[in-house]
A and B are shown apart, each in its own frame.
Chain A
Amino acid sequence: MTAPSQQKLKVQGAAVITANRLSDGAVVYRTAAGAWTTQLADAAVVTGTQAAKELLARAAADENIAVGAYVAPVDVGADRIEPGNLRERIRVAGPTFSLPACIAG
C-alpha cells in the first residue's frame, strides 16, 4: 500500500512531522526548534496543509538525522498530544501484543 510519505498531502486538523532516526530507526518527531525528539509531547504541532508542508520541507531536508519524514495526524488535548490514528499509536507504543517471551529459559 501507499506509505503516508507517498500520499498526497491534505491536512485537516492538527498534525506533527514524524520520521525514523537514521542511526537506529527510532520514531522521532520534529520540534519547533528544528531538532528531533523521541517524545511526541515535545513535537511541533501545526494546523492546516500549508503549515504542515512548510514544516515537512524543513524536516525532510534534515535527512542525515531522520529519514522518511511525513505528516502524521494528532489529537491535541488540554495537557497532552495523542497520536491521531492506529498506525501512529503503534509507532508510539509498539506492537499491540506482548513480544515473544523467553520460553526455554
Chain B
Amino acid sequence: MYIYDDFDLTLVAERVAEFRDQVARRLSGELNEEEFKPLRLMNGVYLQLHAYMLRVAIPYGTLSSKQLRALAHIGRRYDRNYGHFTTRQNIQFNWIKLSDLPDVMADLAEAGLHGMQTSGNCVRNVTTDQWAGVAPDEIEDPRVWAEILRQHSTLHPEFSYLPRKFKIALTAAATDRAAVRVHDIGLRLHKNGTGETGFEVMVGGGLGRTPFIGKTIKPFLPKRDFLSYIEAILRVYNQYGRRDNIYKARIKILVHELGAEKFAAEVEAEWRNIKDGALALDPAFVADIAARFRYPDYKALSDNPIELKRARAADPKFEGWFRNSVTPHRTPGYAIVTLSLKPEGAPPGDATSEQMDAIADLADRYSFGEIRVGHEQNLALPHVAQRNLPALWEALDAVGVATPNVNLVSDIIACPGLDYCSLANARAIPVAQELSRRFKSLDTQREIGRLHINISGCINACGHHHIGHIGILGVEKNGQEFYQITLGGRADENAELGALLGPAVPYAEVAEAIEDVVAAYVELRERPNELFVDTVKRVGIEPFKERVYATR
C-alpha cells in the first residue's frame, strides 16, 4: 500500500470543504448550473439518467481494506447498497443525491479517497497493472511512477483545462494487463541494451468514436526524464489540441493529423527546454516515493504446500477455481487471487456493500489488508499464502465472488449503458447478462478457452468494445437498439482493433449472433488451445460473417 502523508490528507480535506461550499451555493441558487457543472465534474460528479453519479478514483487500482469498507459504507448509507467497478480502476455510485455529496466526500476523505481526476478535461486517474508489485513477470513496481504522475498532475493548473480528458496507463510486465496501447499516453517499463530501466512512450492511442492504437514516439526514455517528457507531450497537446471540435479534441486526433514523427519532433523541441530543469527526477525523490509503498511482511513459505495439494486432489470444484482464478506470485508460497464480479446473470463489475465488507474482512485475514481493482471489472487479493487458498475459496464462494470464469467468455466487460448513462444509445448490461446465462456451463466455457467479450452502449466505448476479442457496440436505429459486432480486437501487448463483422443485429438477436460466432470459432480453430483472436487472425472474419448472416 501507498501511505499518504499529511500533505495528501490535507489536500483531500480542503477539497471536501471547498466542495461543501460549492454545493451549498448551488442549492441556494447563488451558483447557476453553468457555473456549477465544471465544479462538480472536477470532483467526479455526473448527472445521469436517474440521479447523480459519483465516480471515485482508485489510484493504480490499489485499495486498503479500510478504503473498501469506506466504499461499502457509501453504498449502504448514501446509495442503493452497491457500487460499480469500472473499466478504469474507478468505482461509481449511481444513486447519489447532490445534497448528500459533501458528506459522502467527507466520509471518503477519511479513508484517503476522493473523486478528483475522474472527470473533466484533466489528467485522469492513472491506471496500471492490477497485479503491480506482485506479478512475477514485471521488472519493477509501476505504481511508483503512477504515483509520481498522480502527485504531479493533481490540480496542476496548466493541465486542468486540457482540450479534452487525458488518460495515462503504465505497465512494467511482459504481459500488458493495463491496455497501455489504447491510452492517450501508454508507458511500458523495460530494460535497454545496457540493462538500464526506462520507458517506452506511446501516444495517441484511444477508443471512442475514432479508435487508434498508440504510436511509439520514444522507444527508451530514461527515468530521470519521466516527468519532463510527459509534461512536454501535455504541453504540445495543450497548445495544438482541437478545442474547436469535441470530436477531434483528443490527442489521438492530433497525433494522427500531424503524424507521429512530426508530433514527436514537437515534443522533442518542447522537451529540450525543460528536460534539465525542475522536472528532472532526482533518484532520491523517486526512492522516497517508492519507500512509501509498503510491502507485506511475507513469511518464508514454499510453493505448493500440502494444504493446497490435498484440496486440489480432493475437490474438483476447488481445483477448477484454482486453475482459473489463482495466479503465480513473485514471492514463493504466495498467490494472486482474482475475484470474479461476473457471476451468472449479474451486471458486470457490481458489488454489494455486504460483498465489499466481506472482501475487506477476507483481505485483512488473507491478503495483508490489500485489494486490487482491475480494468476487467474484477477484484484481486494480491498477497494470499497458498496454504490459505482452500479456506479463502470457501469464504469467497459464500459471498458470490468465486465464479471460476476469469478470462472466459462470461467474464464480460460492459459499460453501464442505457440503463444508467445519459450518453448511451443502447443497453449493455442486459446483453452481458443474457450472454452469461447462455454460456453458463463452466465446461463449455473452459472448452471455448480465453475469450474476452466487451460491450459498449455507445460510441464513446467505455466498455472498450474495439479491443474485445468480440466487441459489441450498441447503436440506435429508428428508436430501436441494434448492435454492431467486431472480431479480433485485443488489449494486450499485441493490441489490435477489432474488425466489423457486418450489419448491426437487433437486441433480440445479439446473444444468438455471439453464440454463432463462438460456435464457428470452435469449429474453425486448428487445435483446442488456439485462442479465439488467433483463429480470427488466421482465417479472417469471412467465415464468421457467413455463419452469423447466413440466416439473417
- Contact residue among A25, A67, A86, A102 (Cβ-Cβ distance under 8 Å from B51): A25
Q: Are A95 and B358 in contact (CB under 8 A)?
A: no
CB distance from A66 to the nearest CB of B (A): 10
A91, A94, A95: which has the most chain B beta carbons within 10 Å?
A: A95
- Contact residue among B48, B99, B479 (Cβ-Cβ distance under 8 Å from A24): B99
A99 at the interface (CB under 8 A from B): yes
The residue on A at minimum CB distance from B459 is A1
CB distance from B331 to the nearest CB of A (A): 29
A-side interface size class? 20 to 34
- Contact residue among B47, B346, B430 (Cβ-Cβ distance under 8 Å from A68): B47
Stretch in contact with the other chain, from B24-32, B185-193, B371-379, B518-526: B24-32
- CB-CB under 8 A from B82, the residues of chain A are 99-100
CB distance from A54 to the nearest CB of B (A): 21
B50 at the interface (CB under 8 A from A): yes
Cα of A13 to Cα of B27 in the assembled complex, Å: 35
B306 at the interface (CB under 8 A from A): no
B355 at the interface (CB under 8 A from A): yes
Q: Are B422 and A104 in contact (CB under 8 A)?
A: no
Contact A3-B423, Cβ < 8 Å, known A26-B50, A95-B429, A104-B352? yes
Which residues of B418-459 have CB atoms within 8 Å of chain A's CB atoms? 418-420, 422-425, 427, 429-430, 433, 458-459
B399 at the interface (CB under 8 A from A): yes
Q: Are A1 and B47 in contact (CB under 8 A)?
A: no
Contact A67-B33, Cβ < 8 Å, known A24-B99, A104-B355? yes
Cα of A103 to Cα of B352 in the assembled complex, Å: 8
Cα of A83 to Cα of B460 in the assembled complex, Å: 25
Q: Are A96 and B460 in contact (CB under 8 A)?
A: no
The residue on B at minimum CB distance from A67 is B33
Q: Are A23 and B358 in contact (CB under 8 A)?
A: no
Cα of A94 to Cα of B479 in the assembled complex, Å: 18
Q: What are 24 residue pairs bridging A and B, where the CB atoms are less than 8 Å apart in the complex?
A: A1-B459, A3-B423, A20-B47, A22-B33, A23-B98, A24-B99, A25-B47, A25-B96, A25-B98, A26-B51, A27-B49, A63-B33, A67-B33, A85-B479, A87-B49, A95-B420, A97-B419, A97-B429, A97-B430, A100-B81, A100-B351, A102-B352, A103-B354, A104-B400
